[in-house]
Chains A and B, each alone.
Chain A
């Protein structure tokens, strides 16, 4: 039966013929109307400043003295062996995967290599070196291993994910397909896997301990964003589409027991009107950014895990963008980037980071004035310090190195770590 087949082939032409009217009569009106609309600044887009082009330039290095390095490596091996023997006789106590922990070392990427930094002494140690371009190290939640991105081939934005022991040894590739920064990538709470989330309902668990094949899970109702709920990651927060528009829901990780937490978006809510969902580290609250349509105000809202007690977090007035927030480990504070809109000039002006108490909504400035694009920042595991780095424009990534600041949360003072880094350093969690 060939008729249907031919018909299918004709469908494109038939669709094109259905409406053969010329240029719509509203075209010029529409173009004029667009002219009256203001563009959103680039930094209001959550993914805009992800370091997707981080790898384009590998910083040239001078030839290393191999003999001396060999001796150093032998010494390092001896020290590691002694350390291992010490650890073997002392039961290692691990920190909880979420919440307050003791500060350990920091990891950072620089020039395509991975380094460990002692933040108290400022001494750096190379952990992963070689011809590969390696970057963005991430400690496991128990602080015993780390993962990092290794550029593959000549494609600048595809990577493999490598896991290594705390000293950089035992490297092995755990990703099975090319990884891009379009994924949300996190260590699981138990440290046994790394979770790749394409944020459209597809989750891949990569085994970091054994050799189990990658576990791929599809959640049919998930349209966007998956955030696993701390501390046991037994539930996930996601966004779906209903007849009334976007809705925020929670379900068990096996795909059952879905229930709404923010169903009141209504049909006027658009896909980017509420974004950047973050569970508090204790899993009791959810923060997200709400941007009512036709408004320039981007504000952080907080609610309980069941959707109750939804309220705007800060009490700031005027038109502002509160973006890129980060919960403190004890879930009592949130730090965020912010820009204020000047109605008289039509310009946005960056402000120092805001830090707000979740209980009373009072905001105070912390840290220096960032560049126009804002800052990269994170709380230390003990919650007493914030790492601060100027956010780089994509045009300068790979060519500019910055020295991170450590901001004291209590008094706002800062000190500089004198190492140039490619990306924000990651802080190791240790048992208290």
Chain B
């Protein structure tokens, strides 16, 4: 069914139409929220918050074509709100199990995913939101800036920083000498 029509119906209060939109978006939103928050329960809260807010505020959306971007914005902002609320009492979040694809020779892929994982962990929630919006949700930098309500220059610098971290991680990973095994099976 045409998404624009669904948005227009949902805007008029048709909950079934909104349910269809939500079902179509929830996987993408859940993954984005997990990448930003690093915690499945928090991600669930953020997606819930984003979708409830989307339903509640949908009559205020002027352009039905802008629904996807608007929903991303609500969810990402819900993520950042949750992250900010917890900033004062930092907790070591329990990372959800990573669901790696089942491939025969996955070692290189796993290593790179670990790099991404590590880099994401080293960023704060705002930095992760920028990476996720740009690289996962595919928003251009200008839309990332609009979504997060920060200047494009800030987005560029934060992204540059994140990629710099990745470069360092790659360089470290590539240049690190092979460590010799020692007695007892431990690494030096």
A interface list, Cβ under 8 A from B: 3-4, 7-8, 10-12, 14-24, 26-27, 30-31, 33-35, 37-42, 44-45, 47-48, 52, 200-202, 218, 220, 223-224, 241, 243-245, 267-268, 270-272, 394
Residue from A18, A31, A33 in contact with B35 in the complex, judged by beta carbons closer than 8 Å: A18
B13 interfacial by beta-carbon distance below 8 Å: yes
B138 interfacial by beta-carbon distance below 8 Å: yes
Extra contacts, 5 of them, besides A3-B170, A243-B87 (Cβ < 8 A), are A19-B96, A39-B55, A45-B60, A243-B88, A244-B88
Q: How far is the CB of B33 from chain A (nearest CB, A)?
A: 10
CB nearest to B34 among chain A residues: A19
Number of A-B contacts (CB under 8 A): 143
Q: How far is the CB of A373 from chain B (nearest CB, A)?
A: 11
Q: How far is the CB of A11 from chain B (nearest CB, A)?
A: 5
Knowing A11-B116, A17-B101, A24-B27, say if A30 contacts B59 (CB, 8 Å): no
Q: Is the CB of A11 within 8 A of B135?
A: yes
What are 6 of the A-B contact pairs (CB < 8 Å)?
A: A7-B170, A24-B27, A30-B22, A37-B52, A42-B59, A243-B87
Query: Inside 8 A of B58's CB, which chain A residues have their CB?
Result: 39
Q: How far is the CB of A345 from chain B (nearest CB, A)?
A: 14
Query: Inside 8 A of B163's CB, which chain A residues have their CB?
Result: 4, 8
Q: Is the CB of B48 within 8 A of A44?
A: no
Q: How far is the CB of B24 from chain A (nearest CB, A)?
A: 11
- Cα A223 to Cα B150 in complex, Å, equals 7
CB nearest to B145 among chain A residues: A200
B47 interfacial by beta-carbon distance below 8 Å: yes
B interface list, Cβ under 8 A from A: 13, 15, 18-19, 22-23, 26-27, 30-31, 34-35, 44, 47-48, 51-52, 55-60, 62, 77, 81, 84-85, 87-88, 96, 98-101, 109, 112-113, 115-117, 131-132, 135-136, 138, 146, 149-151, 154, 163, 166-167, 170-171, 174
Knowing A17-B113, A18-B35, say if A23 contacts B87 (CB, 8 Å): no
Interface of B is mostly: helix
- Cα A80 to Cα B99 in complex, Å, equals 79
Q: Is the CB of B56 within 8 A of A40?
A: yes
Q: Is the CB of B35 within 8 A of A15?
A: yes
- Cα A40 to Cα B57 in complex, Å, equals 6
Q: Is the CB of A30 within 8 A of B26?
A: yes
Q: Is the CB of B52 within 8 A of A34?
A: yes
Residue from B23, B27, B56, B138 in contact with A39 in the complex, judged by beta carbons closer than 8 Å: B56
Query: Inside 8 A of A223's CB, which chain B residues have their CB?
Result: 149-150
Q: How far is the CB of B36 from chain A (nearest CB, A)?
A: 11
CB nearest to B163 among chain A residues: A8
